Structure 1
Amino acid sequence: MSTRIEIRRAVPDDATAACDLLRRSIEEGCRADHQGQPGVLGAWLGNKTPANVVAWFSSPSNYSVVAENDGVLVGLTLLTPAGKLALCYVSPDTLRRGIGRALLDAVEQQARTWNISKLHLHSPAGASMFFERLGYINAGKDKACFGLECDLLWKRLDGACDPAARKRFCNCAG
């Protein structure tokens, strides 16, 4: 596998490979978070189907990007117009190669284009430090929709907030 990573907009034809990546990343890469609990794992994986991924990638309101290495999908992320980072996954065998950072750079740039000043996401504990290294503030524990206790993270993109405040969704006036 070469070190050349291409970041590009996701297209519906990426759905099957993206679905496979999502499922593998959750099953293998997030094992410490779901601890093999069938209920949590089943709920987390429940909506990770090719049909749903096609819908997510096709929606004109979402901004989805993928990372490819030698034509193989190795990462993906999805941003909603509400500033929610709904997906951010990297293939377990390509972690710590800058793929996640490149994906976040792409969605943060798009968020600024959309005049979104604050992003937020739920992250399993195992991935939270990655987001924190990139300037996201950990606002504490919260339940994700699939029943796993996650960290609620957020990041101001306009620099109007003091990150040291560590408040849940800072309301700084700027």
Structure 2
Amino acid sequence: MGIDIRQATPNDAPAACELLRRAIEEGCAADHGRRAEILQPWLSNKTPRNVSTWFSSPSNYAVVAIQGQDLAGLALLTQAGKLALCYVMPGQWRNGIGSAMMRAVEAQARAWDIAKLHMQSPASASAFFERLGYVNAGKDMACFGLECDFLWKQLNAVEPPVGKRFCNCSGK
């Protein structure tokens, strides 16, 4: 069964919200350890209304992955170069869904003339992004209290320098 990657619409919000919540609760369990003080803040803004707003914003580019009739993944890029979301439905991992969504958001970043992407990733997902060329620059604290890995990628570089933290500085 093929994967269809397309731009998300506000109509996708209810299914996308359910996917986000399941992916965080189940897929990221090793990261949050079912600790309410992390899990509840992480899930608190994952509502259909908020997701619809994110999908409607002209400063965001969101894609969904459809497999058969089901929503299997979603990713969201901001015009500031932040990969704000990239989640695949539990049970659908390692089927090429995440890689296909990342190709789509990276293509949009290039269309927006964004040279570097950055993100905070739960430790359990960092190896996936590293395989796609993202540099793990160390630990960072997410706004909801989870210690994450800070990753970045120079989009047009042949080989990004290892270990350098993303910034908007002059490269010194």
Which TM class, normalised by the smaller chain length?
over 0.9
Residue correspondence of structure 1 range 64-79 to structure 2 within 5 A? 64-79=62-77
Residue correspondence of structure 1 range 3-152 to structure 2 within 5 A? 3-152=1-150
Q: Counterparts of 1:165 and 1:34 in 2: how far apart (Å)? A: 27
**How far apart are residue 172 of structure 1 and its match?**
7.0
Q: TM-score, normalised by structure 1?
A: 0.94
**How far apart are residue 61 of structure 1 and its match?**
1.2
Matched position secondary structure for 1:95: coil
Cα distance per residue 1:9-57 (max 9 Å; x no partner):
0000000000000000000000000001011000100100000000000
**How far apart are residue 91 of structure 1 and its match?**
0.3
Matched position secondary structure for 1:97: coil
**How far apart are residue 163 of structure 1 and its match?**
2.5
Work out whether residues 135 and 162 of structure 2, in 8 Å CA contact, stay in contact via their aligned partners in 1: no
Percent identity of equivalent pairs: 64
Cα distance per residue 1:75-105 (max 9 Å; x no partner):
0000000000000000011000000000000
Q: TM-score, normalised by structure 2?
A: 0.95
Q: Counterparts of 2:157 and 2:30 in 1: how far apart (Å)? A: 33
2:155 counterpart of 1:157:
yes
Unaligned residue ranges in structure 1 (runs of 5+)? none
Cα distance per residue 1:127-163 (max 9 Å; x no partner):
0000000000000000001100000000000116x52
2:164 matched to which residue of 1? 167
Work out whether residues 116 and 152 of structure 2, in 8 Å CA contact, stay in contact via their aligned partners in 1: yes
Structure 1 stretches of at least 4 aligned residues deviating more than 2 Å after TM superposition = 162-165, 170-173
Q: Counterparts of 2:145 and 2:116 in 1: how far apart (Å)? A: 25
Amino acid at match of 1:20: E
| Number of equivalences | 170
Amino acid at match of 2:19: L
Work out whether residues 116 and 154 of structure 2, in 8 Å CA contact, stay in contact via their aligned partners in 1: yes
